[in-house]
A and B are shown apart, each in its own frame.
Chain A
Amino acid sequence: MIEVKNLHKSFGDVKVLKGITTSFEKGKTNLIIGQSGSGKTVFLKCLLGLFDYQEGSIAYDGKVFSKLTEDEKRNIRAEIGMVFQGSALFDSLTIAENVMFPLKMFTKQSKSEMQDRVDFVLKRVNLADAHNKMPSEASGGMQKRVAIARAIVNKPKYLFCDEPNSGLDPRTSIVIDNLIQEITDEYQITTVINSHDMNSVMEIGEKIVFLKNGLKAWEGSNENIFKTDNEVVTDFVYSSNLFKKVRRMYIEENE
């Protein structure tokens, strides 16, 4: 579980996060949603420890990150898996080497043990035949799946995904969403996803934190986001014509 209390982050005079308090539960897919510029990425980077923040605290299973020693911080980081927006695969390594990377860095496993684990996770993300390809030879969807495989190969306790569906077609997006959901359930990890994709919200948003202008505007689940009267949320959710139509049909059916 990750608990965030009163998180403030500024860049110079610009306040990006203005006191966010929330929690992300274990075994659930937690989504951070909001418009572009609402502070989602900054929030995620604060959670990951990539950005320092001015005020507040972030606790991983009760351990307040800012109060930990460097070694303790490194231990927590070794338990984090991250899927970046652009996948962030290492260009100079093959797909198998990319996935093996965290094992090489953080474990004392033998080469055959590492190879077995890589085979297993690549099979898990449906890329059993892609070992020797270079990242540049893989499609966007494949790269995302490799990034997921790399993120889970060392059995992390926390999985972070920054816009995992960006640049993907709707069908591939659903595959990626379902994969993240299945992995979260299977390994009982705390998953935090940064997204503005409403399909993801509907598919896998077990807990949703809605940000607007650096503030938490709403919190709930995918079941009640479509029922809320919160105008800020409904403006965002029904901003696309498709969702407006679906909502109209839903209202008409229930009248």
Chain B
Amino acid sequence: MTYLHNIGSYFLMIIEMFRKPTKWSVMKQLILKDIDDLIIGSLGIVAFISFFVGGVVTIQTALNIDNPLIPKSLVGYATRQSIILEFAPTFMSIIMAGKVGSFITSSIGTMRVTEQIDALEVMGINALNYLVFPKFIALMLYPFVISIAMFLGILGGMAACVYGGFSSLDDFITGTQMDFEEFHVVYAFIKTLVFAFVLATIPSFHGFYMKGGALEVGKASTTSFVWTSVVIIILNYFLTQMLLS
């Protein structure tokens, strides 16, 4: 029953988020601040993880291809496919559920604990629109983060491949250009936009409706990470089924 109640509350929160909009002059600043916090602030960790995981994917692929009949360019092909289809959109979103999701839950949760949300409500402000809507809009730029993850992942793979002596630069580049299907990128960005919505709303839900004190803020952050990850994994399965099969 509690799960059903929470699911119902989540969808009501989403409807409420679009009602009674905050003044545009104020909202504009909130959106810019959230772009800075959620998007620009994540670029460093995204770049670092993408580059090195791209390298690891390449090394493992190269080490598992020991048949001389398989062309060396396949390493680049496998790296590109792994990164564009799964690593950048899905696994980077799980990492972002930890980074951005925890930030959203703890910042909104702390506002709840310290009565800042009550202060907004007493003033007659739609707190959900004021707090969650700018995060939702900011995270619509999330595909930009993922495109950087794709680029750096492949770049990291290329560096590992060439400097690790697994194949030549030409072979790797030939592999990355082999049998390229544009729809795979479209599919990745469709997933990314859906995950962006999940990343903005589920952590906000856990922060906004939390009860208790500082300890509960920590618990809410953990719960929000778990649920955001679960929902991303489930949606990933269904979107892949719908769009690729």
Contact = CB atoms under 8 A, between A and B. Distances in A.
Interface of A: 48-50, 73-78, 80, 82, 84-86, 88-92, 102, 104-106, 160
A82 B23 contact: no
B119 interface: yes
Contacts of A73: 124
A2 B123 CA distance: 17
Nearest to B130: A105
Contacts of A78: 123-124
25 contacts: A50-B118, A73-B124, A74-B124, A75-B124, A76-B124, A77-B122, A77-B123, A78-B123, A80-B122, A80-B123, A82-B119, A82-B123, A84-B118, A84-B119, A85-B115, A88-B118, A90-B119, A104-B23, A104-B25, A104-B26, A105-B22, A105-B26, A105-B125, A106-B123, A160-B122
B121 A102 contact: no
B116 A90 contact: yes
Contacts of B6: none
Interface string B47-71: 0000000000000000000000000
Contacts of B116: 88-91
Interface in B15-64: 20, 22-23, 25-26, 33
Contacts, number: 51
A84 B114 CA distance: 9
Contacts of B114: 86, 88, 91
A35 B125 CA distance: 32
Contacts of A91: 110-111, 114, 116
Given A104-B23, A105-B26, A84 B124 contact: no
A160 B22 CA distance: 24
Nearest to A84: B115
B123 A102 contact: yes
Interface residues of B, number: 18
A90 B127 CA distance: 13
For the residues of A in contact with B, the DSSP-based class is mixed
A102 B121 CA distance: 12
B23 A88 contact: no
Given A77-B124, A80-B123, A88-B118, 16 more contacts: A48-B122, A49-B122, A50-B122, A73-B124, A74-B20, A75-B124, A78-B124, A85-B115, A86-B114, A88-B114, A88-B119, A90-B116, A92-B33, A104-B25, A104-B26, A105-B26
A199 to B, nearest CB: 24
Contacts of B119: 82, 84, 88, 90
A104 B28 CA distance: 13
A86 B115 contact: yes
Q: What 8 A-B pairs are tightest by C-beta distance, nearest first?
A: A77-B124, A88-B115, A88-B119, A74-B124, A84-B115, A82-B122, A88-B116, A48-B122
Nearest to B110: A91
Contact of B121 (A50, A90, A104, A106): A50
A205 B114 CA distance: 27
A48 B123 CA distance: 10
A60 B183 CA distance: 60
Nearest to B119: A88
B25 to A, nearest CB: 7
Nearest to A75: B124
A49 B124 CA distance: 10
Contacts of A85: 115
A104 B26 CA distance: 7
Contacts of B25: 104
Contacts of A84: 115, 118-119
B181 to A, nearest CB: 44
